[in-house]
Structure 1
Amino acid sequence: MSDPSPPKLTPMLEQYLGIKAAHPDALLFFRMGDFYELFFEDAETAARELQITLTSRNPNAENPVPMCGVPYHACESYLTQLLNKGLKVAICDQVEDPKEAKGLVKRAVTRVLTPGTLVEDAGLEAKEHHFLAALFWDAQADFGGLAWVDVSTGACRGIRVRGQMPLWSWVAKLQPRELLLPDHLRPPVQAGDVSTRITPLPVRGFFEFGQAKERVLRTQGVADPHVLDLENKPQLIQAFGALLAYLKQTQKHDPNHLQSFQVIQPGDFLLLDEVTLRNLEIFRRLDGGRGPGTLRHVLDQTLTPMGGRLLESRLHYPWKEPEPILQNQAVVAALLESDASRSELAQRLSTTTDLERIATRISMNRTSPRDFAALRQGVARLPGLREALNTLTQTGQNSDVPGNGSSVVSPSDHGPGNFDDMPPQLLQDVLRTWDDLDDLADLLQRALVDSPPLLITDGGIFRPGYDPDLDVLLDLAEHGQDTLREMLAGEQELTGQPKLKMGYNRVFGYYFELPRSQTKELPERFQRRQSLVSSERFVTEELKELEDRLLGASDRRKVLEHKLFQELRDKVDGFRPRVMRMAETVARLDVWLALAEAARKWSWSRPAVATDLNISIIGGRHPGIEACQGSADYIPNDVHLDDQRRVLIITGPNMGGKSTVLRQTALICILTQIGSFVPAARASIGLTDRIFTRVGASDNLSLGQSTFMVEMIETARILRQATQRSLVILDEIGRGTSTYDGLALAWAVVEELSGQGVKQSRGPVRTLFATHYHELTSLEGRLPGVRNYNIAVKEWKGDIIFLRRLVPGPSDRSYGIEVAKLAGLPRGVVARAKEILEELDAAKQPRKLHQSSKPTRQQLLRDPLPGLGITPPSRENPEETEILNRLRDLDPTHLSPMQALTLLQQWKERLEGDVGI
């Protein structure tokens, strides 16, 4: 039996396939009347992904054409679903008036939607950036460029860095929705899952330097790369140029709505890489979830989408210099002291619309009448915000809030104390440059009705009086029915035919209708148009003339309204630079207010900014944990890092709170450097250039990386990149390997961070080091700046009580068995573990440690692992060497407790016999 012949294609389907051939990687939304239709494989994919009905174009044919569709006026939600699944969509619209078309209506792709190019609110998170990024890597130069843009706001930035892994680290940090790569480039294995959608592009036409440079200069409106700080940054030019080419290809016009390109200078900010953001749960919890438990959730009291996005940026890029920190602290303090001002500002901000994204959609001509109404609402709030700010600045600051004032301390100061008042200079600057946008507000108020329609084609957009020509047409449309009724009443009276009626249909237009038995009495000016079974239909010249006026008015009104709408769009787009400046101002005000609300809600204090490297925190708390469990049950802790305490070795039981103290210290530093108050009774923070974290256990099995390998990779990065101004948070280094290996590595890491290791020229790095290797506590007094602290516990009737307090000194034990008991380990196992622990403790032969402040290399060779209670075997004793080799080869995970005890007893007897005990 032969295969069925392919279906004979109609001209419309031939048109569809011709357009589809130019966009093979996208689903083609083909406009047909009031629907976007999809055919063939696209229809099957869309029906499956959208869970809509799959039909066919010719169901009775031998080979029916699969088909599905969605209403064009409600397509946004469907498009968002497809884009969230990583699919692309090509929008094919009618580019010709069907009434004027000769044959098939012309169609063309007017826009290609991709995961990174959305601008509609339905597909965007209001308070999050939506990045499209492009990466170019030059292996020969060992430099790469990464450029990114939020198409919905026009904000664009980029960075050039040395080394491939730092470049991919930025990709992981930004988490772009779509990443453009040269088609020959693949992410390195070490980059792992960057959790982004990669779109490969050819170098020619996208990344080629000459073309990329020309696009960058033209789009940005500059004559030289120096103006954009892009001189000597060819890789960044290539990445940004590829972004611009991709946007033109997908949006079908030059991306002229983009703001000025900003080059990120890493030295200007406190650097937080993706590992630190994850470990400190800045935006997501360790389980991947958002919301409660994250720092952003605690801080995000913002009331506008613009403020939410700015807060996100602040957390990504905290300041590193004192001036912006202190200026922002002053504004937060001023707002914190005035409940009335905060309340008034919050009320006005809560009804302020997303000026940034609305203005961008208008500029891109991806807009609707309701966008203009939302812009009008947002602009209308500006005068009230200005008045509230005026009241705040005139009221002045009080000294009721502890820590208010100029919070700069020198190394000789002892804590934050009380400070002199510092006026909120930033608020004064804001008011001096404030723009009410009165002229824009007046234009929108005069032009738009109170509730504009969703679509331009619906009509009814403009107020009466906005345009005289439109008023005439609107009058005809509004009063046309009255005129028709008046004409009918006049004809009934003139003809003496009270049964004369008036009707309308699309074929004949308006007509008079009269029963057939009475038609002989009509005047000759009534022209017969249609005969029915029991009646006749007529027209008159007057009726035809009125019909032409009415129907023509409706068509002319639609054409004129579309023209006026485009003219209004152009006028409003001219205000965009001013609107964007005020959007930024409103966002800053929103963030200041949010930080003040958080400080008031959680009783935070204003930290001092120290000019040295010292960190002093009195009564510090973890903001995420406190927000979840409440302040009543939270036990605060003090942390001090100074010349005598540069590296804190923190011991104590699991679940005691070591990791919490580590994290809250880093979070307090971050909060300080975004200009926020902090969860502490008092704090003085020596600013940091970078925060490194190594917390918890994780693996990357897909890359063949064990837990220990991941731990060592992160530790290596810390040791290579940390400076004296960094803050290092380490939790359980060396636990993923044997005891000897792990302890040796942890020991060497402490040496390095204390400034006594190989890289001694760096000096000590501020470090909090939590560990269960109690042998490391012997380093206090031997390495300068190393101090012991522990999380206190209390034993009570065989159980332990976690006191959650950080106190000086080492912990005597880890209380692992007690924690296992709390976890529900069977009683018999717990009891047996205690017996074994007692026997192992009794078998130890602890030796006195060297008490010199700094051990010599010879001392370390003689005493390589002090505190273990095991004497290194003599090289001349073969029995000890054999036992030690067997111990190295032993896998404890495959031994039962009894087997382990038996082995220990056998080895002990052999050793005692050899030494003659």
Structure 2
Amino acid sequence: MKTEPSLGTGPAADDGRTLTPGMRQYREIKAQYPDAILFFHIGDFFETLEGDAEIVSKELDLVLTSRSKNGDQRIPLAGVPHHAGEGYIARLVAKGYKVAICEQTEDPKTAKGLVKREVVRVITPGTVIDPVMLPSSAAAYLMAVSPGTKGADWGIALLDISTGEFFVLAIPAEGSTGNLRSEIARYRPAECIVPSSVDEELRTSLRRDGVVVTPYADDRFLPDRAGRTLCEHFGVASLAGYGCEGMPAAVSAAGAALSYAADTQKSTLPHVSSLFTRSSAQGMMLDAITLRNLEVHESIRGGTKGATLFSTLDRTKTPMGSRFLRLHLTRPLTDIARINARLDAVEYFTASATLRMTLRELLTRHADIERITARISYGNAGPRDLVALAETLATLPEIRKLLAGPSVGSDNSAPVPRRVAAARDCLFDLPSIIDLIRRAITDDPPAIAKNGGVIRSGYSAELDGMTGVLHSGKNWIAELQQQEREKTGIKSLKIGYNRIFGYYIDVSKSNIALVPARYERRQTTATGERYTIPELREKEAVITDADERVLALERSLYAGLIDEIRKEIPALQSISRGIATLDVAAALADAATDFDYVRPRPDTGDAITCRDIRHPVVEQSLAGGFVPNDTELSGSKNQIMIITGANMAGKSTYMRSVALCCIMAQAGSFVPARSAQIGIIDRIFTRVGAFDDLASGQSTFFVEMLELANILNNMTEKSLVILDEIGRGTSTADGCSIAQAVLEYLHGKSSAGPKTLFATHFHELIGMEAELKRVKNYHFAVQETKQDVVFLRKLIPGATDKSYGIHVARLAGIPKKATDRAEVHLCETLKRDASGGSKARRYTQLLLADDNLPARAAAAPDPVIAEIAGLDPDSMTPMQALSKLAELKSRAGRSCNMPGKDL
């Protein structure tokens, strides 16, 4: 059998070293992709060489070998089986590497000399389409960033080539880095391309956010060239219809993203059929800090596996729906009509349990047709993809019938909402595609088509004829094996096959003496000998030729099938959008029904009025039930709520509840409350917790001040601001002064301001209610007994001057010796404050009486006070009086430490 030249040494000279034609071919191709690991197809393997081999060996834990040497210099080599290449490539890409796949582009059996090879695709973290590399249903974005010139807006483009989603947006040059980080937090791109000339500071900032940064040719970012790239791709004369004309930086980013994706995929990306322009005016702005602090789609402790708003609400049945819901929650709407359209759809499905459950059962049979459509576009969709596509399409008539209206027999008498009807009308009927796939593909096809066994019998008469010849040949082989066993008396005789020697007769060592003279020896093995005979050689040629022709015809028929389905890509993308819309609405309705959510009422006012609001995530983990609270915020009246009270009383949970309900309402979801009226919020800002940024030399307090500066510089009257423990990272005097100044700044001198929830342990601030007319004090009620402190989680008007930190320390497991000593110090501190003539407190913690104890008014008098009242000083000697005074002082000191005493 013919083999091509090896990659070892040979007669070709290169830089003074002797190279084979194969090695020269490798070097030439590698030079075109210096920043990628080159997977070089040789025979049954993908080989990597030289520096690439060392990386692959280390990252994939493979043995590093050497096929040959150039003089004294070793050429490292590491290979993986060609059929298993996807898995190894996926692991490299997941680690941030770029992989160039170099395939054989001609048959080694017919090639004259060196087999032709070329790179058929470059896989990068942001350009993954293969199912094995996309284990998650989440979007896989490629981001392109084009910094604006001379203070102009920056442009950002996001392209998910696995689905065809493509959009651009502009961010202001002022605060561009922070705004860019917010978009990264929102969309989590796997890779970001930037102009090659961009400064290292921006690249470092992007990498710090966990993004793989790839420099790309500056000329691809030129607005004129980028605009031409986009117009040529979409077949239009102008970008005016896409809303980005007059946005040079956005056009620059979009054109570069499309060029980069096309370069890596070696494809024109026909499934990327449209471009959308998004602006801050279209949705609520949630920056990276807010998304983190509110745990919208990622746990604050890192990763996506923790309990988040997204994980709580994600009851979708399809990958398309899950991606769409995530987008809803990270980019809530600000347009009331669009919000209500979404809420109408959710309400429609909450009103009909039968309809909702039937729809959701049908959706469980849906594959990820959005990504299957993308793979069809690229031509690498597998046979199982097509079978799954046919099964999905087959459910669409049932869904359309289900959503036709009340006359179908639904338990919902309401008319079909506009959004549901529009989604239903996107579900095009494609019976010809279903029939084509079912006629062409076997019931249980292999995962990939290139090895055959895919096309169903009866689909092609020519293929059936070839397959018949092949099967008859293989039956002949089986019959020959039985005949030879009988003729020779060798019962263990077998006829086998391999690609190098073809068909052979295998005889074990113990039976070699029985081999007849007509057998021709071909190979010696560890267990015996291999032979052939003339009639076996003749039939081998017939079978091999038929096998190769069957495989070639199967591949041709499958490619034709993909080409036929490719014509329906626009319809398939429309179906995917319709399914995603219905899936999200039904999932949110399911959550609303199970969790007792209500429909919010969005309006153009400046108030947030909620009754019995709950935290949507926390309440799922509380066995004893969640204590709801009311909220009344108004930019022009009750603008700022100063919330004081005990640690662990529920301040942070309450504030997050308010913010999350606003996000849910404007995303089009029902909310966890008894009623909710939400004045449209343009941005939510949060300053919660303490995080160091040691990588850039920023302390906890400095990070706090940076986040606070961002809030104060960007908030508007329509914003919601959540501030928790401002100023706690520095001295008490400094921190309290900063907190007071921030309150004054938020209140401002105008008639309205941003709605603000301000939690603090600086009890000095509670007096600001009397100084600023739109500031109100609230605190969380605590019930004290002689034995314990009970946090009631109930928000009530008024303020408190107690934090119960020592009690919380006990709950956390601090040693009793330490907490007892802390109480002594606290008592002494409060005595010093009192003796120093400190200002009398205006507010005290509301103490709710324990039902199991008598009311305070009826309680027994303090024993120390009772004894003093019973003393007769006139009958006591001076020594007796001093002794009694010392005793009473000691007892009073011990009494001071008792829980529930006012100090």
* The two structures share one fold, judged by TM-score above 0.5: yes
Report the counterpart of residue 739 of structure 2 in structure 1: 746
- The SS at the match of 1:29 is strand
**Equivalent residues of 1:778, 1:849 under 8 A apart:** no
210-219 or 471-480, which moves further after superposition? Answer: 471-480
- The SS at the match of 1:428 is helix
Change (3 A) 1:376 1:846: same
- The alignment status of 1:808 with 2:823, answered yes or no, reads no
1:782 to 750, 771, 782: 771
Change (3 A) 1:481 1:42: closer
5+ residue gaps, structure 1, are 400-420, 491-495, 521-527, 852-917
Report the counterpart of residue 92 of structure 1 in structure 2: 102
2:825 to 827, 833, 841: 833
- The SS at the match of 1:688 is coil
- The alignment status of 1:322 with 2:315, answered yes or no, reads no
Shift of residue 337 of structure 1?
3.0
2:611 to 587, 611, 618: 618
Report the counterpart of residue 654 of structure 1 in structure 2: 647
- The SS at the match of 1:812 is coil
378-387 or 22-31, which moves further after superposition? Answer: 378-387
Shift of residue 19 of structure 1?
1.7
- Whole-angstrom CA distance in 1 between matches of 2:782 and 2:494: 95
Report the counterpart of residue 638 of structure 1 in structure 2: 630
Report the counterpart of residue 715 of structure 2 in structure 1: 722
2:457 to 453, 457, 464: 464
**Equivalent residues of 2:686, 2:721 under 8 A apart:** yes
- Whole-angstrom CA distance in 2 between matches of 1:192 and 1:94: 36
5+ residue gaps, structure 2, are 1-14, 506-513, 523-528, 844-903
Report the counterpart of residue 350 of structure 1 in structure 2: 364
Matched to 1:654, the amino acid is N
Matched to 1:365, the amino acid is G
- Whole-angstrom CA distance in 2 between matches of 1:243 and 1:732: 42
Report the counterpart of residue 252 of structure 1 in structure 2: 266
- Please list the CA deviations of residues 483-527 of structure 1 after superposition, one character each: whole Å capped at 9, or x if unmatched: 78999999xxxxx9999x998988998999xxxx9x99xxxxxxx
Report the counterpart of residue 170 of structure 2 in structure 1: 160
- Whole-angstrom CA distance in 1 between matches of 2:221 and 2:115: 37
300-309 or 556-565, which moves further after superposition? Answer: 556-565
2:441 to 444, 448, 455: 448
Shift of residue 672 of structure 1?
0.8
Report the counterpart of residue 42 of structure 1 in structure 2: 52
**Equivalent residues of 1:177, 1:197 under 8 A apart:** yes
Aligned identity (percent) is: 39
1:106 to 107, 116, 139: 116
- The SS at the match of 1:147 is strand
Report the counterpart of residue 590 of structure 2 in structure 1: 597
**Equivalent residues of 2:38, 2:102 under 8 A apart:** yes
1:16 to 15, 26, 44: 26
Matched to 1:351, the amino acid is R
Report the counterpart of residue 834 of structure 2 in structure 1: 842
Shift of residue 348 of structure 1?
1.9
- Whole-angstrom CA distance in 1 between matches of 2:280 and 2:677: 24
- Please list the CA deviations of residues 574-613 of structure 1 after superposition, one character each: whole Å capped at 9, or x if unmatched: 1111111111111111111211221222222222223422
Change (3 A) 1:393 1:641: farther
Shift of residue 636 of structure 1?
1.3
- The alignment status of 1:198 with 2:208, answered yes or no, reads no
Shift of residue 641 of structure 1?
1.4
**Equivalent residues of 1:131, 1:176 under 8 A apart:** yes
- Whole-angstrom CA distance in 2 between matches of 1:840 and 1:389: 74
- The SS at the match of 2:560 is helix
Number of aligned positions between the proteins: 804
- Whole-angstrom CA distance in 1 between matches of 2:494 and 2:133: 49
Report the counterpart of residue 116 of structure 1 in structure 2: 126
Change (3 A) 1:600 1:509: closer
Matched to 2:606, the amino acid is L
2:186 to 153, 173, 193: 173
| TM-score between both structures, scaled by the size of structure 1 | 0.81
- Whole-angstrom CA distance in 2 between matches of 1:815 and 1:497: 96
Shift of residue 63 of structure 1?
4.4
- Whole-angstrom CA distance in 1 between matches of 2:717 and 2:20: 74
Shift of residue 139 of structure 1?
3.7
Change (3 A) 1:429 1:485: closer
Shift of residue 449 of structure 1?
1.1
Change (3 A) 1:671 1:62: same
- The alignment status of 1:82 with 2:92, answered yes or no, reads yes
Change (3 A) 1:819 1:342: same
Q: How does 1:207-222 map to 2 (within 5 A)?
A: 207-222=221-236
2:753 to 731, 745, 764: 764
**Equivalent residues of 2:332, 2:666 under 8 A apart:** yes
**Equivalent residues of 2:403, 2:416 under 8 A apart:** no
**Equivalent residues of 2:351, 2:412 under 8 A apart:** yes
Matched to 1:18, the amino acid is E
- The SS at the match of 2:403 is helix
Shift of residue 222 of structure 1?
1.5
Change (3 A) 1:844 1:684: farther
1:261 to 275, 279, 282: 275
1:298 to 283, 305, 312: 312
**Equivalent residues of 1:292, 1:628 under 8 A apart:** no
Shift of residue 571 of structure 1?
0.7
1:234 to 248, 271, 284: 248
- Whole-angstrom CA distance in 1 between matches of 2:18 and 2:432: 59
Report the counterpart of residue 792 of structure 1 in structure 2: 781
- The SS at the match of 1:455 is coil
- Whole-angstrom CA distance in 1 between matches of 2:837 and 2:75: 84
Over the aligned positions, Cα root-mean-square deviation in angstroms equals 3.6
- Whole-angstrom CA distance in 2 between matches of 1:534 and 1:657: 80
Shift of residue 396 of structure 1?
5.7
Report the counterpart of residue 545 of structure 2 in structure 1: 552
- Whole-angstrom CA distance in 2 between matches of 1:537 and 1:235: 73
Change (3 A) 1:588 1:89: same
- Whole-angstrom CA distance in 1 between matches of 2:222 and 2:469: 58
- Please list the CA deviations of residues 673-693 of structure 1 after superposition, one character each: whole Å capped at 9, or x if unmatched: 111111112222222111111
- The SS at the match of 2:156 is strand
- Whole-angstrom CA distance in 2 between matches of 1:109 and 1:192: 28
Shift of residue 157 of structure 1?
1.0
- The SS at the match of 2:605 is coil
- The SS at the match of 1:67 is strand
Matched to 1:809, the amino acid is G
| TM-score between both structures, scaled by the size of structure 2 | 0.82
- Whole-angstrom CA distance in 2 between matches of 1:256 and 1:615: 46
Matched to 1:775, the amino acid is E
Change (3 A) 1:395 1:688: farther
- The SS at the match of 2:450 is helix
Report the counterpart of residue 859 of structure 2 in structure 1: none
Shift of residue 308 of structure 1?
0.9
- Please list the CA deviations of residues 411-452 of structure 1 after superposition, one character each: whole Å capped at 9, or x if unmatched: xxxxxxxxxx77533223333443132221111111111122
Shift of residue 659 of structure 1?
0.6
- Whole-angstrom CA distance in 2 between matches of 1:96 and 1:534: 31
**Equivalent residues of 2:403, 2:421 under 8 A apart:** no
Change (3 A) 1:640 1:125: farther
- The SS at the match of 1:659 is helix
Shift of residue 53 of structure 1?
2.1
